[in-house]
Amino acid sequence: MQMPDIRNRLKIGLVCPYDILRAGGVQEHALAQAEELRKRGHTVKILTPRPRGVRGDAPEGVIFVGNSANIKVLTKTTMEVGINIDNSLLDEILSKEKFDLLHIHEPEVPILGAQIIARAKCPIVGTFHAVNPNTPMARTLEGLRMPFSRTLFNKLTAMTAVSDAAAGFVREHMSK
Per-residue pLDDT reduced to its tens digit, 4-33:
766 789 999 999 988 888 888 899 999 999
Percent of the chain predicted with pLDDT > 90 = 36
Q: How would you label 53-73 residue by residue, b for 16+ Cβ within 10 Å and e otherwise?
A: eeeeebeeebebbbbbeeeee
pLDDT of residue 148: 63
Tell me the one-letter amino acid at 25: G
Q: Which residues lie closer than 8 Å to 30 by C-beta, 6 or more apart? A: 14, 16, 20, 46, 48, 105
Rg of the Cα atoms in the chain:
16
- In 3D space, the residue among 133, 121, 108 whose CA is nearest the CA of residue 18 turns out to be 108
Give the single-character DSSP code of 55: -
Burial category of 82 from C-beta neighbours within 10 Å (exposed 0-12, middle 13-18, buried 19 and up): buried
Mean pLDDT for the chain?
82
Q: 176 pLDDT band (50/70/90 cuts)? A: low
Residue 127 CB neighbour total at 10 angstroms? 23
Question: Residues 114-141: what's their mean pLDDT?
Answer: 81
The reported pTM is 0.82
